[in-house]
Structure 1
Amino acid sequence: MRIAEFIHDNDYPKLTNLDYWLKDNLNYETKKIVIDEHTRFSEIKDFDLIVLHGGIQHLWDKEQDPWLYKEIEYIKWALNNNKAVIGFCLGSQIIAEALGEMVYKAHKEEIGWFRVQLRAEAEEHILLKDLGQNFISFMCHSDHYDLPENCSSLAFTETAKNQIFVSNKFPTIGFQFHPEYTLKNIKVLLETFNDKDCFGEEYRLRKVNIIEQTKAFSSTYGLFKKLMDNSLKWFFK
């Protein structure tokens, strides 16, 4: 299988849980593609799976990064041509817009570690196998979206109602959180924050609190592996 990774930030982590997963699955080929104003999407077509990584961009302000218009159109094309697409954070928002919804500023930001609740009606979905009724993952976002048409919401938090959603028409999954981040990725990210970035709203904690939360985790790879393995089983069942 050939995987294309779309990278949206120049300082995006060089190694994520996806890289470690690929080391355990040597029959997959991957290529990292930096998406910007120079990207020629017409040349990106020989892949079976596209992974949309996160980014600092806001889809409600695409004029700041107008190449987002072309990326969304490309994802529409990919889905209509039966390409599988997974999105993390910004990536999930790109999928939502490709499926017809609009991304907006969330009423509360989620920065830190949050418990994701699985919807009772979705507990038997193959994507959620072995996850239990809930799990904790790292989040860093201030935007969200409504559920696109012909999609199902599988999981939520109090402030973000579509933490995991799947299309019932196309092979695509959106994860609003960051299971792909390693603990090292998270620690490096937190080093860039000042305390003002992490404090001030109900769903945000002080930087020192998030650092303490992070120390409680030995790895984030187990959750990512379950989600990635389950995603591929669902795509190619």
Structure 2
Amino acid sequence: MRFYETEGPGYLADFLIQNAIQYKLIKVDQMDNIPRSISEYAGLILMGGPMSVNDDLPWIKEVVKLIQEAICSDIPVLGHCLGGQLISKALGATVKKNSCKEIGWFEVQTLNHNSQQIESSKKWFDDLSEFEVFHWHGETFELPQNAIHLLTNKNCHHQAYSYFDKHIAFQCHIEMMPSMVESWTKAGAAEMENEKNKEAIQSPEVILENVSIKCDQLNKLAYRVYNQWIKDLRLN
């Protein structure tokens, strides 16, 4: 499900095609109809967008209802940035302003404070304890009840969580391709200029440096996550 023209599925689309998984891209930004029921789908994926889940937008209630139906029906849900915030809202958690805006390439760390975190982190991220992902957000989600906190960093405490080890929500972006990073950086130049010299805001030059290599590494991480996520899809 896409909510903004430049925030499409990116590498995720390539992954689904490579794995012969058919998908329908619902372009909410182009007024596509939101499904009334999740029953004809095997999974639900939500992409990013510059809006807030707290905005008074007519489609937010519809999307939240669809997420709730999917989770109640044991249909896997995956969210990227705004998508993760929508999952959180659907599960009754608060989405609020983060302590800072976070824009650019920053490391995140897996959590291993208890056996649940260790087991879930290994499921989604193998043995990785730290890796670089892309970020562009000013808000963040609280953890829903029964969620397992998976990723964190110094800029934003809640970077990812799993829910009953079938659904996963990210505050960060793992779907990026070089062309997406370039278009976002161009479109967001004024925002970065207004926020420059802040620790969690990288310059366009830093963001675009070695972008193909960074995206290639990110795609490998995303492959691990997506490959795990599709295992719970009830495909015909």
- TM-score, with structure 2 as normaliser: 0.86
Match of 2:200 in 1: 203
Q: Please tell me whether the aligned partners of residues 187 and 211 of structure 1 are also in contact (alpha carbons under 8 angstroms).
A: yes
Match of 2:24 in 1: 31
Q: Please tell me whether the aligned partners of residues 123 and 133 of structure 1 are also in contact (alpha carbons under 8 angstroms).
A: no
Unaligned runs of 5+ in 2: none
Q: Distance in 2 between matches of 1:197 and 1:24?
A: 40
Aligned length: 226
1:224 Cα deviation (Å)? 1.0
- TM-score, with structure 1 as normaliser: 0.86
State the secondary structure of the residue aligned to 1:101.
coil
Q: Distance in 1 between matches of 2:34 and 2:14?
A: 28
Q: Distance in 2 between matches of 1:198 and 1:226?
A: 33
Q: Distance in 1 between matches of 2:140 and 2:207?
A: 22
1:234 Cα deviation (Å)? 6.3
Unaligned runs of 5+ in 1: 1-5
Match of 2:104 in 1: 112
Match of 1:99 in 2: 91
1:40 Cα deviation (Å)? 4.1
Residue type matched to 1:231 in 2?
A: W
1:130 Cα deviation (Å)? 2.7
Q: Does 1:186 align with 2:186?
A: no
State the secondary structure of the residue aligned to 1:217.
helix
User: Segments of 4+ in structure 1 off by > 6 A?
Assistant: none
Residue type matched to 1:29 in 2?
A: Q
Residue type matched to 1:204 in 2?
A: I
Q: Distance in 1 between matches of 2:123 and 2:180?
A: 25
Between Structure 1 and Structure 2, which shows a larger proportion of strand residues?
Answer: 1
1:56 Cα deviation (Å)? 1.2
User: Percent of aligned positions with the same letter in both sequences?
Assistant: 23
1:171 alignment partner, one of 146, 166, 185: 166
Residue type matched to 1:143 in 2?
A: E
